[in-house]
Amino acid sequence: MSTLARYRLLTAALLLILGGCATMQPYDYSNYYAHPPRSILVLPPLNESTAVEGTYSYLSTVTQPLAELGYYVYPVAVIDQYLKANGMPTAGEMHQIPLARIAEIIGADAVLYVDLKQYGSKFQVVSSNAIVTVTAQLVDTRTATVLWAGSATAQNNSNSNNSGSFLAQLLAAALVQAINSKVDVSHGVCRQANAQLFYPEGRGLPYGPYSPRHIAK
Amino acid sequence: MRIAAALAAALLVGGCATQPNLYAWGRYEDLIYTTYASPGSMPPERQVEALEQDYQQARANNQRMPPGWHAHLGYLYSELGKPDQARQELQTEKAEFPESAVFVDRLLANLSKS
């Protein structure tokens, strides 16, 4: 094999390896690096799903991924209670607070606005799916610039055993559905959705200042 | 060639590998979830107890508590009518994470008023 051929083969292999973790199209981070945030305020998500419980189920999974990326994340429950006590009982009202007011009252560099598009179980004859779809926008409180945006869908397909009769499968699926809805499998699926949302290299959120992997640009 | 192969191997391992956590999470997010999912099932007293246990364990392992954690605990103490402990936790939040100052000062001011 010629050196060039070897080189090409290696390049192809590298691309394959990189492709395994990374993405389709590169994300433009210029807005992000023009105003890199230290602190992020996460408001309760707008909930477009039919499951009311989705709002706080999601909210209680979002601090860990952001903090582990190296950002200061305001205490989500305290913020929620504080805003409720100050006349904003719903996520919809919280999302309407002017950015300048957020900077003044809370001091956050950026706000993460999350939209919960889908949340919950779908019973599909012989299997039941817990599905979570989110879109998110990180907005700079000083300039109103969108620093980063992303979306993700995750699902937990609890496909009951494929062997056995159709009726048995149907019963098993219904049983799994009943168990799942009690423990709310979708809550765990939120964490999978967040991993897909924030962590992919080249498309996710860059490391923040508290991370040893943070790169100042 | 050998260097390139080593680089490829490093990328393969490093690209997807998980990093050790920056913080000790304990039951922080689980308690938030429980509070909203089944209100009243976990009264503030028991939450404080659980969080203080997590804190002791983190200290024993030489780990930091996550951002917002001390403010959250301070908030629970204020719910329980313990302003001194609440104040102490809020001050700790501010000392550990200066980004919290504007919001924490607001909470401290509210605490002095009540």
Per-residue pLDDT tens over the stretch B87-111: 999 999 999 999 999 999 999 999 9
B99:A72 CB<8 A: yes
Q: What percent of chain A is predicted at pLDDT more than 70?
A: 73
C-alpha atoms less than 13 angstroms from C-alpha of B18 in its C-beta half-sphere = 6
- The residue that leads in pLDDT, A10 or B35, is B35
Q: What is the mean pLDDT of residues A53-74?
A: 97
pLDDT band at A38 (very low <50, low <70, confident <90, very high): very high
Average pLDDT over residues A180-200: 86
Assigned token pair, B60: 């024993």
**What's at B22, amino acid-wise?**
L
Say which of A78, A201, A210 has its CB closest to residue B72: A78
C-beta separation of A27 from A201 below 8 A: no
3-state secondary structure of A163: coil
Task: Tell me which range, A21-25, A177-181, B36-40, is most confidently predicted by mean pLDDT.
Answer: B36-40
Non-local (6+) Cβ contacts of A172 within 8 A are A160, A161, A164
- The chain B residues in contact with chain A (CB within 8 A) are 1, 4-5, 8, 11-12, 15-16, 19, 21-23, 25, 28-30, 32-33, 35-37, 66-69, 71-72, 75, 97, 99-103, 106-107
Query: What's the rounded Cα separation, in Å, for the pair A135 and A156?
Result: 18
- Put simply, the answer to whether A74 touches B68 (Cβ < 8 Å) is yes
Query: Which among A110, A86, A113, A93 is positioned nearest to A209, based on CA atoms?
Result: A110
pTM: 0.81
Question: Chain A residue closest to B29 (CA)?
Answer: A60
| Average pLDDT estimate for B52-58 | 98
- With a cut of 80, say whether residue A159 has pLDDT above it: no
Phi, psi of A41 (to 5 degrees): -100, 120
Alpha carbon of B56: minimum distance to chain A alpha carbons (Å):
20
pLDDT at A161: 46
Q: Is ipTM beyond 0.90?
A: no
By the 10 Å C-beta count (0-12 exposed, 13-18 middle, 19+ buried), A138 is classed as buried
State yes or no: pLDDT of A160 exceeds 90. Answer: no
- pLDDT score of A107: 98
pLDDT tens digits, one per residue of A77-86: 999 999 999 9
User: Which pLDDT band holds residue A23 (cuts at 50, 70, 90)?
Assistant: very low
Radius of gyration of chain B (CA): 19
The secondary structure of residue A162, as a DSSP letter, is S
| Chain A, chain B: beta-carbon pairs less than 8 Å apart | 113
Q: What is the pLDDT of residue A129?
A: 79
> Which among B8, B30, B67 is the nearest to A72, CB-wise?
B67
Answer for the pair A24, B85: CB distance below 8 angstroms, yes or no.
no
Is the per-residue pLDDT at A103 higher than 80? Answer: yes
Neighbours of B98 (CB within 10 A): 14
Torsion of CA B5, B6, B10, B11, to 10 degrees: -30
Q: Residues A94-116: what's their mean pLDDT?
A: 98
Whether the predicted pLDDT of A154 surpasses 80: yes
Measured between CB atoms, does A172 come within 8 Å of chain B? no
